[in-house]
C-alpha cells in the first residue's frame, strides 16, 4: 500500500525514479523541463523525450507535445516571447 501511495505521489509530482516510462506525457514534459533548467522549444522537448525513452505511437510527436503544452499553458507551463516553454 505504501509503495502505491509513493508511486501516485511521484506521478503527480512529475517524476518517478530515473526514467520516463511510468509518466504521463504532461508529467514527462514537466520532468524534462525541470531537468534541463531552461526554456526550450517544443521540437527540442519532443526530441529530448524520445531520446530519454518516452514511447509513442504518434505519427507527429512534436505536434502532440505542442498540443499538450498549449493545453496546459498558464497552468503548468509558460511560453516566452521566443516560443520556448518552461515549467510554472
Q: How far apart are CA 19 and CA 16, in angstroms?
A: 7
The C-alpha atoms of residue 29 and residue 86 are separated, in whole angstroms, by: 9
User: Quick one: pLDDT at residue 75?
Assistant: 96
What pTM, to 2 d.p., does this model score?
0.79
Task: Quick: pLDDT tens for 23-56.
Answer: 999 999 999 999 999 999 999 999 999 999 898 9
Q: What's the pLDDT tens digit per position in 14-28?
A: 444 567 878 999 999
pLDDT > 60? residue 77: yes
Which CATH class, in words, describes the domain spanning 2-87? mainly alpha
Amino acid at each position: 500500500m505504501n509503495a502505491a501511495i509513493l508511486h501516485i505521489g511521484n506521478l503527480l509530482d512529475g517524476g518517478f525514479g530515473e526514467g520516463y516510462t511510468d509518466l504521463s506525457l504532461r508529467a514527462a514534459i514537466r520532468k524534462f523541463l525541470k531537468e534541463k533548467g531552461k526554456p526550450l522549444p517544443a521540437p527540442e522537448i519532443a526530441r529530448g523525450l524520445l531520446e530519454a525513452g518516452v514511447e509513442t505511437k504518434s505519427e507527429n510527436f512534436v505536434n502532440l507535445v505542442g498540443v499538450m503544452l498549449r493545453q496546459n499553458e498558464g497552468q503548468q507551463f509558460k511560453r516566452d516571447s521566443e516560443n520556448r516553454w518552461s515549467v510554472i
